[in-house]
């Protein structure tokens, strides 16, 4: 009976142009920008390594975007004090841009800009060609593994927003470790330890077998963006009246969401890649929908423009308000570089607690000394 009814449905072909080429272009441009930042940063570190004897290259502020914990702390410090910390100001604006993108257009950063997401996608495509199918982990493995990224996110949020006081956050942001965290990160990869290399290689191999292994199971940044995306007013809607249940949307979804079974895609795993909408063969059946505009339906192109514009606008505010470059001079960098090996950071909740205690003790000592004077 239901099959007969489906056969009767008048099918109007979906002639809308796919958006994937544009998405790929944005991914390539963003990856090129990251590589450019990497080259500039390498030249900056060379200057430090040679004790300032070679040509000085400005440190590219965009490297702050690769310091998500420091950026999260800067954000916390900003909302607690109204002050933008000067150690890695660009990091906080990049963080805000990425979160705002998720609040407006879903977890779009992951599939439109993130270089790791882009690499994961390429590796996943290779894996599917290699195995001639998409390997999906069974639910009893997939669900617990997906919770790992939330546990990691929970740990960071608990440590920063609950355990640490504003004074301790400031102490961390002011610390020499945080000031040169970017240089330390450079050496993490340039002088990679055997263990780190093994871990990265294993993740790489797992991403060939299971698409987006890192993003789906382990990335705490993705977990945060997934939560933010749930309140985004832009959602993918399926018109059940015109849908022919062909299942092409679900097959095209890299996040294994059963788009063909729901009216509205409400998933923390949806990355707004729009593959499902591109794959739908019936006109006006799968579309982006928003309840805040009278028109309700929004085009794929509008979403793409919004994604890019939000990123450019928020980072642009950072640049135009003078909160982009940090205020460390090259002489200060050269000085820090010599002692960098001895700089450590608090580890685990206990480490953050100790930092709190130390900060309180320092404040108390400072007050006593001021009163004496
Ligand atoms: S539901 Fe659609 S937009 Fe979301 S991840 Fe799947 S294919 Fe991409
Ligand atoms: S692609 Fe999905 S939404 Fe479009 S007709 Fe097929 S099942 Fe329905």
Domain ranges, ordered by start, for the chain: 16-230+301-364
- Does the beta carbon of 81 sit less than 6 angstroms from any atom of ligand 2? no
| Top mutation candidate among 244, 251, 258, 289 for ligand 2, by most atoms within 8 Å of CB | 244
Return mean pLDDT, the chain: 91
Whether the Cβ atoms of residue 271 and residue 111 lie closer than 8 Å to each other = yes
Query: What is the average pLDDT across 102-116?
Result: 97
Whether the Cβ atoms of residue 331 and residue 140 lie closer than 8 Å to each other = no
Mean pLDDT check: name the lowest of 74-83, 195-204, 273-282, 333-342: 333-342
The 10s digit of each residue's pLDDT in 49-86 is 999 999 998 999 999 999 999 999 999 999 999 999 99
**Could you tell me the distance, in angstroms and rounded to a whole number, from the CA of residue 315 to the centre of ligand 1?**
26
Query: How high is the pLDDT of residue 363?
Result: 63
- For atom 1 of ligand 2, which residue has the closest CA? 280
pLDDT at 2 over 90: no
| Top mutation candidate among 265, 277, 287, 289 for ligand 1, by most atoms within 8 Å of CB | 265
Q: Give the residue from 315, 335, 252 showing the smallest Cα distance to 286.
A: 252
User: Which atom of ligand 1 lies closest to the CA of 252?
Assistant: 7
Residue 146, C-beta contacts closer than 8 angstroms, at least 6 positions apart: 216, 217, 269
Query: How high is the pLDDT of residue 11?
Result: 83
**Rg of the chain (C-alpha set):** 24
Burial of 256-283, coded b for 16+ CB within 10 Å and e otherwise, reads bbebbeeeebebbbbbbbbbbbbbbebe
pLDDT at 364 over 70: no
Work out whether strand 234-238 and strand 286-290 pair parallel, antiparallel, or are unpaired.
antiparallel
Query: How high is the pLDDT of residue 371?
Result: 66
pLDDT at 185 over 70: yes
Query: How high is the pLDDT of residue 240?
Result: 94
Rounded distance between C-alpha atoms, residue 307 and residue 324, angstroms: 21
User: 286: how many CB neighbours lie within 10 A of its CB?
Assistant: 26
| Top mutation candidate among 109, 211, 234, 274 for ligand 1, by most atoms within 8 Å of CB | 274
Query: What is the average pLDDT across 107-115?
Result: 98
Q: Give the residue from 314, 302, 267 showing the smallest Cα distance to 91.
A: 314
pLDDT at 106 over 70: yes
pTM, 2 dp:
0.90
User: 147: how many CB neighbours lie within 10 A of its CB?
Assistant: 13
- Does the beta carbon of 229 sit less than 6 angstroms from any atom of ligand 1? no
Residue 255, C-beta contacts closer than 8 angstroms, at least 6 positions apart: 212, 216, 267, 269, 270, 271
Give first-to-last CA distance, the chain, whole Å. Answer: 91
Rounded distance between C-alpha atoms, residue 90 and residue 317, angstroms: 10
- For atom 8 of ligand 1, which residue has the closest CA? 273
- For atom 4 of ligand 2, which residue has the closest CA? 280
The 10s digit of each residue's pLDDT in 230-284 is 999 999 999 999 999 999 999 999 999 999 999 999 999 999 999 999 999 999 9
| Top mutation candidate among 24, 257, 267, 280 for ligand 1, by most atoms within 8 Å of CB | 257
Query: How high is the pLDDT of residue 342?
Result: 75
Task: Identify the band that residue 350 occupies on the pLDDT scale cut at 50, 70 and 90.
Answer: low
Mean pLDDT check: name the lowest of 182-186, 257-261, 294-298, 310-314: 294-298
Query: How high is the pLDDT of residue 341?
Result: 78
pLDDT at 349 over 90: no
Query: What is the average pLDDT across 172-190?
Result: 93
- For atom 7 of ligand 1, which residue has the closest CA? 253
Query: How high is the pLDDT of residue 360?
Result: 64
pLDDT at 338 over 60: yes
Rounded distance between C-alpha atoms, residue 133 and residue 219, angstroms: 24
Rounded distance between C-alpha atoms, residue 201 and residue 203, angstroms: 5
- Helix (H) / strand (E) element for 238: namely strand 234-238
- Helix (H) / strand (E) element for 256: namely none
pLDDT at 218 over 80: yes
pLDDT at 9 over 80: no
Whether the Cβ atoms of residue 326 and residue 87 lie closer than 8 Å to each other = yes
User: Which atom of ligand 1 lies closest to the CA of 269?
Assistant: 5
- Does the beta carbon of 245 sit less than 6 angstroms from any atom of ligand 2? yes
């Amino acid at each position: 009976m239901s099959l007969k009814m489906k056969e009767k449905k008048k099918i109007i072909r979906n002639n809308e142009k796919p958006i994937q080429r544009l998405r790929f272009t944005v991914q390539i441009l963003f990856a090129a920008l990251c590589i450019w930042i990497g080259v500039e940063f390498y030249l900056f570190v060379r200057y430090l390594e040679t004790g300032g004897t070679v040509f000085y290259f400005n440190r590219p502020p965009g490297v702050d975007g690769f310091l998500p914990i420091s950026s999260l702390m800067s954000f916390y410090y900003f909302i607690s004090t109204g002050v933008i910390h000067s150690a890695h100001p660009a990091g906080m604006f990049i963080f805000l841009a990425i979160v705002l993108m998720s609040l407006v257009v879903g977890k779009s950063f992951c599939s439109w800009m993130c270089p790791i997401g882009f690499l994961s996608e390429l590796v996943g495509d290779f894996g599917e060609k290699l195995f001639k199918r998409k390997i999906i982990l069974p639910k009893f493995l997939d669900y617990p593994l997906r919770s790992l990224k939330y546990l990691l996110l929970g740990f960071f949020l608990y440590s920063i927003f609950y355990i640490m006081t504003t004074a301790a956050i400031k102490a961390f942001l002011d610390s020499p470790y945080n000031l040169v965290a970017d240089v330390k990160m450079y050496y993490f990869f340039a002088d990679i330890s055997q263990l780190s290399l093994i871990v990265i290689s294993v993740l790489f191999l797992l991403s060939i077998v299971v698409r987006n292994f890192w993003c789906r199971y382990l990335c705490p940044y993705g977990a945060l963006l997934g939560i933010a995306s749930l309140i985004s007013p832009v959602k993918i809607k399926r018109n059940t009246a015109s849908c022919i249940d062909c299942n092409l949307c679900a097959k095209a979804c890299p996040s294994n969401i059963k788009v063909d079974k729901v009216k509205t895609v409400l998933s923390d795993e949806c990355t707004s890649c729009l593959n499902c909408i591109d794959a739908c063969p019936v006109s006006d059946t799968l579309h982006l929908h928003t309840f805040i505009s009278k028109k309700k339906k929004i085009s794929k192109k509008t979403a793409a423009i919004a994604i890019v514009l939000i990123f450019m606008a928020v980072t642009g505010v950072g640049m135009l308000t003078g909160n982009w470059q940090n205020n460390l001079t090259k002489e200060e960098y050269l000085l820090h570089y010599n002692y960098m090996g001895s700089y450590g950071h608090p580890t685990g909740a206990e480490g953050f607690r100790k930092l709190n205690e130390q900060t309180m003790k320092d404040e108390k000592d400072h007050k006593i000394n001021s009163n004496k004077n």
